[in-house]
Every structure is written in C-alpha cells, then in structure tokens.
A and B are shown apart, each in its own frame.
Chain A
Amino acid sequence: MTQPILVTKDMPFCPGCGHGVAVKNLAKALEEAGFRPLDVIIVSDIGCAGLVDPILATHTIHGLHGRAPALALGVSLGLSNPGKKVVAIQGDGGATIGLQHLLEAARRNVDMVLIVLNNLLYGMTGGQMSGLSTQAFKAEKHVDDDTPPFDIVRLAHEAGAAGSARISAPGEFKAYFQEALATPGFSLIEVACLCPSHGVKKLKELAEVIPGDLKLSRQRPPARASYRDTGPLFEKGGPLPAPYSSCIRERLGIVIAGSAGGGVQSVARLVANAGIRSGLHATMKGEYPITVGTGFSLAEVILSRNRIHYTGLEAPDVIVAVTEDGMAKARSRVKPNTALVLDSALRDAAFPDALYGNFHKEAGKQGAALAAAASWLIREGLLEREALLEAARGHQHGEALMEVIEKAAGMVRGLPV
C-alpha cells in the first residue's frame, strides 16, 4: 500500500493559491511513481512556496531565501543511500535571488528536481514585482517597467539541465512532475501559479500574461559524487637525519631577493632544508606580488640552533639580491649590520661593503639566486656544501640545482671590483 506523501488536505496557502494545486500534484506524482515518504527529501525555500514542510510526510529541510537549489545540490551529492529523490521548491523570488545556484545545479546536472512556483510576484511581502514578472503582467498592474523577465527554462537548458519545462495547465502538472522525477540529473519545472491575494486570480487571465509553455531536454549523464580513498599528505615519520654541521649558533636571518621565474622560493626552501640537515631549526616564507609570473620574488629564511617561535625578520643578517626588482624590494630592509651579496650588475656606491659576484653570467637567470646564496653560505662556513647538495638531491630539478651549487663556491668576490 502506498504511504501518503501529504499528511493533510488543508493547504497552508490562501484559498485558490496555485501553490496548493502544484504541491498536491507533486504528492500524487511521487506516490504513483512508488516513492515512500522517507525516499524523498524536500528542500524548501523562503516565501509562500516555502510553507510546504508541515504538510509533507517526507524528509524536509527549510533553508534561506533563494538558496534551495544550492542546499539541494549538497544534499543530493552527499546522500549515501541510493534511491532517494531530492526535490527543491522555490518561488520566482527565490529563483532570481539565487539564480547562480539554479544555473550551477543545471551545469553540473545534479540529480534533483527544482520546482519554481512562479506567480509573477513576491507574494509574502505584499506582491512586489520579481525578475520573472512578465511585461504583460506589469502593464496590467500599472507597473512602469518594461524590463523583460528571465527565461529560467531556457537558462537552465543552456546551462546543461537534463530537463527543463514551463507549464501552466494544472491538468498537466502531474505528468510533468513524473517525467522530471524519472529523469536522472537536473530537471527544472517552472509552474505558472495563481496568487488570488496579490496577483492573477483566474487561470484564463494567467494564460494572457505568462510566457508560453516550453519543454527542453538534453541527454547527459548526471553528476556523480565519487568518494575516493586518498593517502596521507605526509608521513609522521621520525626526524630527518642531520649529519652535517654548521657554525650558526643562535639565529641567522637571510633574505633572498630576485624576480619571478628565478627560483627564489625554491632556493629559500632548499637553504632551509640544508639547515635542517645540519641540525638547525628553520623557517621560510615568501613574498611576491599577486601576479606571480612577473615582478619581484622575495623569501625569508631563518636558521637557528633553538626552536624558532617568532618568524619575523626585523634585521636580516644577510640580503642576497640578484635582480633589480628584488633589490628594489629588499633595499629598505638593509640595516647597519646586514651583509649584502649582490649580482655584479647591481653595483651600488651606497653599499661600499657589499660582496659581488657574476651570478647571472655564471649561473644563468634560474641559477643566480641559488649561486649567490650558496656561495656566501659556504664561504662563511655557515652551511656545508654537502648539506646544500643533499637538500637539492630530492628536488625535481635536483641535478641542475646541484650543478649550480658545485660551481657556486668562489663565485662571491671578497671586495667590489
């Protein structure tokens, strides 16, 4: 025996409201298609269309204005038991407030039915015009606005809905609902509704102000949510071996400055990793414009014997700069005790104590930052060359990086040339 979908014949709407006719037909369509009440999840919007929850024996979820199709999308893709049907119900106000949601559910062809009860106005707030109010209806209401309405049936179709239709004859409601319920994927049905309190009071008049019936369909597989098994992002393995030594005692702050495409960020990570392999604590952070493909690229590395809490770098111990963009960004950070390691092309009388090297000429655009940083760190005895090589080994461009590190020693000239 079929269990009734409706728990009452009393509709929560004004007498003669088209919403009641639609909801009764939906209930009949569900029952005749064999759905038991708990096979159905009704997602109701705000407005008169959203008054349906208490008259239904189904699962119900009553959300925000305009968001029913988005909420229904989540429910549909989240359900773990097959054979359930998600039906969202909203009015014309809801359909325009959340037009994006309607289009997105259609674009993805999410398995659900969206019923838009279109009475051409906002019923609950007193009958104001909506984005689906037609010009003919507005003229009749003496509303001075000839903006045409959205055609949500065509919009849903264009976005990719498996089915979309506009219907106005109550006698046809049930058959359309049944077809939508049987369609895998997204089906939208725009139902023309009377609103005796604020809008059209008779079916005959309704026919004169609504756009014509329309039915569109598209063969498309419905969206599937496949929940995959994934592996961990990292292993909680023990500490990396730290066989190398370093004479860094407390805290060494390094700024590496170059340009986009110069590998500054990966050089900084490499230096931090070499530090870890030397028994040090390390932090690294990058700074670059939103347009990552152009302009400066700057990175800060802190190496320390002790655990690092604060990761800011107020007074860098060294600034390594290999391009003009990088130097322009880093210049303001030079403090009295900051060592400078610069590409020869950046020679600057303001920094008489800077160290220079032909990093670009000798290591190329992509190797310059690494060459400069590595040559200085090795020269000062702060990191062993082997520690840097070891850190480069795991990198996707490991060999190229190792080649730069190999020849970096000695690239820094002790004094400006």
Chain B
Amino acid sequence: MQLIDGSKIITEACVRAGADVYVGYPITPSNWFYAYAQKRFPLFLAGPDEISVLQWMAGFSAAGRLPVTATSFPGLALMVESLNMAHMMELPMLIIVTQRLGPSTGSATTGAQGDLLLLRGAISGGYQIPVFCPSSFEDCWNLAYEAVKTAVNYRTPVVLLTSKEMVMTYRSFDLSGLPEIKKVENAEPEVALPYQSYRAGADGVPPFIPLGDESYQVRLNASTHGRAGLIQKESPEAMANTRRLQDKLEGNISEFTFFELDEEDGAGQLIVSYGISADAARDALAGLRRQGKKVSLLIIKTLLPVPPAILSILERYEKQVFVEENLPGLLRELIYGQARRAHIRSVNKIGSMIAPSEIIKEFAV
C-alpha cells in the first residue's frame, strides 16, 4: 500500500497508454494533473487560455500526436466550440474534466457532479462523444487507458469526467494490483485508394493518416464535408458523413461499455451512481444489506453515449435511486428525462459529498 492520489494515477496511465503531449491551462481542481504532466509527458506546453489549449491539441492530434489536457467547468465552457471541431474533424484526444461546484466560477475547491448534461449537449446536433467516469483508483488507471484507446480506435475526442474528491484525495492503495498498460498503437491503417480522410471502413471509422504524410494527401475539415474532407453543403455524401459520426460511436458502444454491477438475488431495488458518489453508494449498499434489505448497486462508468447494456440493467429494477452530487439529478434526467416517475428517486446534494447515511435514509420506508 502507498499513499497516492487519482491525478497521479491518471497521468501515469495516460502516458503509458501512449499520450505524448499535454497542453494545459491551470485550473483548480485540475492543477495536480498540470503538475504531474510537467514531469511526465514527453512534451508539455502551457497554453494562454483554454480555447488555445484545445486548438493546439487539435493541431497536435492532426499531426499524429496524442494530446491530453485537464480542466474544469470554466475551461470546458471555453473549449466547447473547439470540442465540436475536434469531433467533426475526428481527432483523437483526451480531455480530463474535474468537476467543481458551480454555477459559473462557483467554488473552485469544492467537488461536484454538475457537468454531465453539458457534455451531453456540447456537440451541436446532439452527437455524443465518449465520456468515461472513474469511481475508484482502479478506474482511474483502467479508464484512463480505455479513454486513450477509445480516442485512437474511434478517432474521437474522449472526456474523462472526474471530480475534485477523486483526484485531490490521497488514499492508501496497492499499486501492484494494477494491470500493465500497453501503449495503444495506431494500427497501420488499411487504406483504400485513393486515400480520403473521411472514407470509413465497415466499423464506421476512417483510417487515420496525419497531416504531413509523404504519400497521401490529408484533408481535415470542421465544416460539413464529404469523404475527401472538402466542404460540401447538404449533399447526400456530406449528410452520410455527418450521420456516420453518430453511428461510429453508438454502433461500437459495446466495445467501450464499462460499469460495475453488484447484484443481489431477488432485489427489486437498485442504487445507481457514478464517480465520486459511488463510494458512498458502496458503503450504503453494505449498510442496507446488514439491515437485511435486498438491494443491488449499479455504478456507471461509460456515461456517454448511454450504453444499451446499462439501459437493460435498469429495466430489471422496479425501484431505482440515483445518487449524484448535484441538485436536479443529471444522470437521472439523462436517462429518464424531466418527467417524474414514482419509482425513480434521487439522492442529491451540493456543497459536500453525499454520505452513505443519506442514501440509506432513502430506503427507510
């Protein structure tokens, strides 16, 4: 066992997975990433603002590098247009978002889970980018790797959604149990000639060749474009390309569906949680079972696109309690919308972490 923090584990995992450039603008509570990245990434650059950060990253990615940044809501807000660009250009990159209490500047040193629906709606048109959410130090390691892998394999920006309590709390942890991470290689692409930057294979993913290639002309484009990467307006080819952006991720979702399910035989009640609230849910589950209650626990780690596998687990439970550190219940809204359902309940809070006792209370009657 040694005392370690989540920022360090994530940073190390990213580099081992092959991320080679960190572009950052410091922001609490993502500063530890910045500090670790300065030591660990092959190339570290300090951007002057978060718009520049994401643009530089897009440039690095387009040139064949694998860039990472870490930010928090105020920085993420500035990045949204560039995130759209990276999504449209299909550029691999990783954005770590450490949630903190909002709205607005809020409280920089207080954790929260308030940015899920911003990410859900970040891409104009409602397209989804993969959002992974670690709920333990094992997840910090494994999901950082999966995030890099998903970014490369599906040519897409990926968000690792964390919270202050996950990345700025030290815990005793046995690192020797972590699996080895192998560098994610961008497999030698099978290129159909003539090469076109957006001609996709059967999996919906166009082989990625970076700018500056000696043999193939590369054209990347943030505007509506056809297979060749040139602007086309509403041509069927361009619309098919835009539609592919959705199919590419939703069609391959089973390849990056991550969750933890602790199911109790005969349980009709399910606690649903993610990220920093998951630990309270784990403790609450143990407490409820000690009381003889039959309860299961689902911790969702692939938040977006919402995996069908998650939806089928939810369908099996009569009563569901969503536990998340925000007031409106963003995960619940993501899945069930704003309509009230008697059996879908929420434990919500802002300003401090939800305690196990607050979850247990929800099962008192």
- Is B350 at the interface (CB under 8 A from chain A)? no
B202-237: CB near A (< 8 Å → 1, else 0) gives 000000000111111111111100000111000000
Given contact pairs A62-B221, A79-B212, A312-B352, A239 touches B1 in the complex (Cβ within 8 A)? yes
Q: B171–A282 contact, CB under 8 A?
A: yes
Q: Whole-angstrom distance from the CB of B15 to the nearest CB of chain A?
A: 7
Q: B48–A67 contact, CB under 8 A?
A: no
Q: B280–A309 contact, CB under 8 A?
A: yes
Q: Whole-angstrom distance from the CB of B204 to the nearest CB of chain A?
A: 22
Interface centre among B45, B60, B89, B221 (most CB of A within 10 A): B60
Q: A101–B52 contact, CB under 8 A?
A: yes
State A72–B58 Cα separation when bound (angstroms).
Answer: 9
Q: B222–A63 contact, CB under 8 A?
A: yes
Q: B213–A38 contact, CB under 8 A?
A: yes
Chain B positions within 8 Å of A229 at CB level: 42
Q: B279–A282 contact, CB under 8 A?
A: no
Partner of A74, one of B63, B214, B217: B63
Q: Whole-angstrom distance from the CB of A52 to the nearest CB of chain B?
A: 11
Q: B58–A310 contact, CB under 8 A?
A: no
- Choose the segment among A182-190, A267-275, A356-364, A370-378 that binds chain B (4+ C-beta atoms closer than 8 Å): A267-275
Chain A positions within 8 Å of B282 at CB level: 309-310
State A230–B175 Cα separation when bound (angstroms).
Answer: 20
A43-58: CB near B (< 8 Å → 1, else 0) gives 1000000000110011
Q: B64–A276 contact, CB under 8 A?
A: no
Chain A positions within 8 Å of B40 at CB level: 230, 232-233
- Is B26 at the interface (CB under 8 A from chain A)? no
Given contact pairs A63-B58, A70-B55, A236-B176, A312 touches B355 in the complex (Cβ within 8 A)? yes
Q: B55–A38 contact, CB under 8 A?
A: no
Q: Which B residues, 348 to 362, have Cβ-Cβ distances below 8 Å to chain A?
A: 352-353, 355-357
State A286–B110 Cα separation when bound (angstroms).
Answer: 11
Q: Which B residues, 12 to 40, have Cβ-Cβ distances below 8 Å to chain A?
A: 12, 15-16, 20-21, 23, 28, 36, 39-40
Partner of B219, one of A60, A70, A239: A60
Given contact pairs A229-B42, A311-B279, A70 touches B62 in the complex (Cβ within 8 A)? no
- Is B174 at the interface (CB under 8 A from chain A)? yes
Q: Which B residues, 264 to 291, have Cβ-Cβ distances below 8 Å to chain A?
A: 279-280, 282-283
Q: B41–A230 contact, CB under 8 A?
A: yes
Q: A59–B211 contact, CB under 8 A?
A: yes
Q: B56–A74 contact, CB under 8 A?
A: yes
Q: Which B residues, 300 to 359, have Cβ-Cβ distances below 8 Å to chain A?
A: 352-353, 355-357
Q: Whole-angstrom distance from the CB of A95 to the nearest CB of chain B?
A: 15
- Is B140 at the interface (CB under 8 A from chain A)? no
Q: Whole-angstrom distance from the CB of A125 to the nearest CB of chain B?
A: 15
Q: A311–B222 contact, CB under 8 A?
A: no
B71-95: CB near A (< 8 Å → 1, else 0) gives 0000000000110010001000000
Closest to A62 in B: B221
Chain A positions within 8 Å of B222 at CB level: 62-64
Q: A276–B3 contact, CB under 8 A?
A: yes
Chain B positions within 8 Å of A71 at CB level: 55-56, 58-59, 62
- Choose the segment among A131-139, A147-155, A210-218, A220-228 that binds chain B (4+ C-beta atoms closer than 8 Å): A220-228
State A405–B53 Cα separation when bound (angstroms).
Answer: 46
Q: B42–A230 contact, CB under 8 A?
A: yes
State A280–B3 Cα separation when bound (angstroms).
Answer: 11
Q: Whole-angstrom distance from the CB of A341 to the nearest CB of chain B?
A: 22
Partner of A81, one of B2, B51, B212: B212
- Is A257 at the interface (CB under 8 A from chain B)? no
Q: A227–B212 contact, CB under 8 A?
A: no
Chain B positions within 8 Å of A41 at CB level: 211-212
Q: B213–A59 contact, CB under 8 A?
A: yes
Q: Whole-angstrom distance from the CB of B19 to the nearest CB of chain A?
A: 12
Q: Whole-angstrom distance from the CB of A314 to the nearest CB of chain B?
A: 5
Q: B59–A239 contact, CB under 8 A?
A: no
Closest to B135 in A: A309
A285-319: CB near B (< 8 Å → 1, else 0) gives 11110100000000000000000111110100000
Chain A positions within 8 Å of B357 at CB level: 314
Q: A276–B231 contact, CB under 8 A?
A: no
Chain A positions within 8 Å of B248 at CB level: none
Q: B178–A236 contact, CB under 8 A?
A: yes
Chain A positions within 8 Å of B175 at CB level: 234-237
15 A–B pairs (Cβ distance < 8 Å), ordered by A: A41-B211, A61-B219, A61-B221, A63-B222, A71-B62, A78-B64, A226-B43, A227-B43, A230-B41, A232-B12, A233-B36, A276-B2, A282-B3, A311-B353, A314-B357
Q: Which 4 A-B pairs have the closest CB atoms?
A: A74-B59, A78-B63, A70-B55, A78-B60
Q: Which residues in B have some Cβ–Cβ distance to A below 8 Å?
A: 1-4, 8, 11-12, 15-16, 20-21, 23, 28, 36, 39-43, 45, 48-49, 51-52, 55-65, 67, 81-82, 85, 89, 108-109, 165, 168-172, 174-176, 178, 211-223, 229-231, 279-280, 282-283, 352-353, 355-357
